[in-house]
Amino acid sequence: MHFKTIIEPFRIKSIEPIQFSTRSQREEYLRRAHFNPFLLNSDQVLIDFLTDSGTSAMSSQQWAAMMQADESYAGAGSWTRFENAVRDLTSMPYILPTHQGRAAERILYNHLGGAGKYFFSNTHFDTTRANIEFSGAKAVDLPIEEARNFSSDFPFKGNLDVDKLGEWIENVGAENVAAVILTVTNNSGGGQPVSMANAIAVSRLCKSKNIVFVLDACRIAENAFFIHQNENEYKGHTFYLIAQEMCALADACIMSAKKDALVNMGGFLALRNKSLADACTQLLIITEGYTTYGGLSGRDMEAVAVGLKEVFDADYLKYRIRSTTYLGNALKEMGVPVIFPIGGHAVYIESDKLYEHIPVSEYPGQALVCSLYRTGGIRSVEVGSVMFGKYDEKGALIPAEMELVRLAIPRRVYTQSHIDYVVEVFEEIVKTKKQVKGLRIIQEPAFLRHFTAHFEELSQ
Ligand SMILES: *Cc1c(COP(=O)(O)O)cnc(C)c1O
């Protein structure tokens, strides 16, 4: 018997109240946040889909492990458990603990990068791109063609275009390629999975050219679910084994543990090569902390060690992916343009197709983000020209490839009734879409502007 209701594979032991608000309160909160929901207080938010990063609910096993943590400065038992868990997953000998993913990125990409160097990726995530560009290097996105074809139901739209990668390597010279980064799942490319076949092809090409192959493994468990589902050779594998096989292909592995390690803070850099590990360890000690804790407390490392196992639980992963798909399918049915197939951790909406009356230069994605907040207290994030836009010499906007809005779903936090509420809010969003206005940026920093930019609504 197959029941259609998604039941969460856990019961709730500890609850956290959420705050309700009226529409007029939310109008005021939004104005005070300069139309940038990153600047809202969380108690002004009803359903927080801003990010799935660091927002997971931990299990009783994780909390229990935290109580047993060893906070010794060097060689703590918590470090050993963390190191073993990461080593078991990645099969890499050198494990560097960091306080989150971008710290690992800063260490590795600063070391490998610099002026004249190139990084290639299926799509660089925002902190990845920022760290690379900050080093002076160039970050080039090479997603496959199908990634942009929203009518195709190709299951691995997160794949990297290996032919194009080959051409780029020829053009710039292998010695100028700092690294190739495969991000699984492809967060900025619609949260789409990467096939094992693609990872194998990328790995082969990198090996033949002596180029460092980095796996950004933030969502490797969710990616493993899709491989298990859609790549025949892996039907008999456990999710964990699939993830291990993927890590085995890479020279380095970066992970923000705030995603698929089911914790609120943490990350790591795992490396296969000793001289690379030595250089990175120098930077680790200078900027993060001693080698057996990096930027983490013993408690944090315990939670990661347990989370890295729990995330591969079959019941958990099925619930996780089904619940994201449920939301995505409901939106698709009511005519909201979503990226299809639905990815693992988030539903992505093509805001420029929803708001055809708002030009890209007036940030249709930011307009949708504001409208979701006003209408239902839902916080989401723009992944379009606010996040990735640049200016030409004359100050005109060079828009991003896509104008997406991401509804990122925290792990183990919301139940199906929360998701049903979000679906209802979207019915209202669709009904009132013509009244929504575009925005203008009135204040912004040089890097990662989406976090702190201030906006003004345009009158029509
Ligand atoms: C979140 C994320 C990062 C950065 O990790 P932080 O822990 O936020 O610093 C890097 N890459 C990808 C794909 C991510 O999703």
Average of pLDDT values for 291-310? 97
User: Do 196 and 230 contact (CB within 8 A), yes or no?
Assistant: no
CA 323 to mean position of chain CA atoms: 17
Which tens digits make up the pLDDT trace of 263-299?
999 999 999 999 999 999 999 999 999 999 998 999 9
Q: What is the pLDDT of residues 193-231, one digit of tens each?
A: 999 999 999 999 999 999 999 999 999 999 999 999 999
Q: How confident is the model at residue 79 (pLDDT cuts 50, 70, 90)?
A: very high
Q: Which residue has the higher pLDDT, 450 or 49?
A: 49
Mark whether 342 and 292 lie in a shared domain: no
Nearest CA to ligand 1 atom 11: 125
Angle at Cα 311 formed by Cα 302 and Cα 237, nearest 5°? 125
d(CA 240, CA 84): 15
Q: Are residues 41 and 144 in the same domain?
A: no
Of 283, 310, 337, the domain-final residue: 310
In the block, tokens 């509420």 appear at: 421
Atom of ligand 1 nearest to the CA of 188: 13
Give the pLDDT of residue 449: 85
Answer yes or no: are the C-beta atoms of 256 and 183 closer than 8 Å.
no
Structural domain range at position 338: 23-52+313-457
Q: Are residues 136 and 182 in the same domain?
A: yes
Instruction: Give the tens place of pLDDT for each residue, 18-68.
Output: 999 999 999 999 999 999 999 999 999 999 999 999 999 999 999 999 999
Classify residue 2: in a domain, yes or no.
no
**Higher confidence at residue 152 or residue 133?**
133
Residue 339, φ and ψ in degrees, nearest 5? -75, 130
Query: Does residue 73 carry a pLDDT above 70?
Result: yes
In a domain, 421, yes or no: yes
Q: Which of 140-154, 224-238, 243-257, 427-441 is the least confident region? A: 140-154
Q: Does 319 share its domain with 280?
A: no
Distance (angstroms) between ligand 1 centre and the Cα of 101 equals 5
Q: CA–CA separation, 300 vs 293, rounded Å?
A: 9
What is the pLDDT, as a whole number, of residue 101?
Answer: 97
Instruction: Using the mean position of ligand 1's atoms as its centre, give its distance from the Cα of residue 98 in Å.
Output: 12
163 found inside a domain: yes
Cα 351 from Cα 354, distance rounded (Å): 5
Q: Do 248 and 132 share a structural domain? A: yes
Same domain, 298 and 150: yes
Ligand 1 atom having least distance to the Cα of 267: 7
Does 319 fall in a domain? yes
Output the residue whose Cα is nearest ligand 1's atom 5.
101
The alpha helices in 4-72, defined as continuous H runs, are 23-32, 60-67
Helices 314-333 and 416-431: crossing angle in degrees, nearest 10, is 20
Looking at residue 338, what DSSP letter applies? B
* Number of domains within the chain: 2
Residue 11 lies in a domain: no
Mutate to test the pocket of ligand 1, among 38, 218, 253, 265 (most ligand atoms within 8 A of CB): 218
**Structure confidence at residue 315 (pLDDT):** 96
Q: What is the pLDDT of residue 460?
A: 63
pLDDT for residue 138 is more than 70: yes
For residues 432 and 390, membership in a common domain is answered with yes
Cβ atoms of 291 and 98 within 8 Å: the answer is no
CATH number of the domain that residue 402 is part of? 3.90.1150.10
Domain end: 292, 310, 328, which one? 310
Q: pLDDT exceeding 70 applies to what percent of the chain?
A: 100
| Per-residue confidence (pLDDT) for residue 4, from 0 to 100 | 82
Q: What is the DSSP string of 259-303?
A: TTT--SS-EEEEES-HHHHHHHHHHHHHHT--TTTTT--HHHHHH
Q: CA 259 from chain center: how many Å? A: 7
Question: Residue range 370-394: average pLDDT?
Answer: 94
Percent over 90 (pLDDT), the chain: 90
| Pairwise CA distance, residues 78 & 236, whole Å | 33
Bridge partners (DSSP) listed for residue 143: 160
The pick from 102, 181, 184, 304 for probing ligand 1's pocket by mutation, whose C-beta has the most ligand atoms within 8 angstroms, reads 102
Examine the domain organization and report whether 411 and 364 are in the same domain. Answer: yes
Give pTM, 2 decimals: 0.93
**Band of the pLDDT at 1, cuts 50, 70, 90?**
low
Binding-site residues, ligand 1, Cβ < 6 A: 53, 100-102, 125, 127-128, 183, 187, 216, 218, 256, 258-259, 267
Within this chain, do residues 259 and 330 fall inside the same structural domain, yes or no?
no
- Kindly report the average pLDDT of the chain as a whole number: 95
Checking if the pLDDT of 443 tops 70, the result is yes
Alpha-carbon gap, residue 117 to 139, rounded angstroms = 9
For 391-411, what is each residue's pLDDT tens digit?
899 989 999 988 999 999 999
Helix intervals (H) in 288-413: 298-310, 314-333, 351-354, 364-376, 385-388
Q: Identify any residues that bridge with 216 across adjacent strands, giving them in sequence order.
A: 183, 254
Report pLDDT digits (tens) over 99-135.
999 999 999 999 999 999 999 999 999 899 999 999 9
Q: Given the DSSP bridges, would you call strands 454-457 and 439-443 parallel, antiparallel or unpaired? A: antiparallel
In this structure, is residue 1 part of a structural domain?
A: no
Structure confidence at residue 369 as a pLDDT band (50, 70, 90): very high
In this structure, the answer to whether residues 249 and 139 fall within a common structural domain is: yes
Instruction: Find the distance separating the first CA and the last CA of the chain, reported in whole Å.
Output: 54
Instruction: Report yes or no on 9 lying in a domain.
Output: no
Helix (H, G, I), strand (E, B) or coil at 133: helix
Centroid of ligand 1 to alpha carbon of 334 (angstroms): 31
Q: What are the backbone angles phi and psi of residue 398, rounded to the nearest 5°?
A: -100, 105
**pLDDT at res. 188:** 75
d(CA 127, CA 255): 12
Candidate of 100, 256, 448 to mutate for ligand 1, largest count of ligand atoms within 8 Å of Cβ: 256
Q: Distance, CA 105 to ligand 1 centroid (Å)?
A: 9
Both 138 and 102 in a single domain? yes
Q: Same structural domain for residues 370 and 273? A: no
The token pair at 314 is 């079959």
Is residue 16 one of the residues assigned to a domain? no
Residue ending a domain, choose from 280, 310, 340 = 310
**289 and 295 Cβ atoms separated by less than 8 Å:** yes
CATH number at residue 72: 3.40.640.10
**Angle (nearest 5°) at CA 307 between 305 and 311:** 135
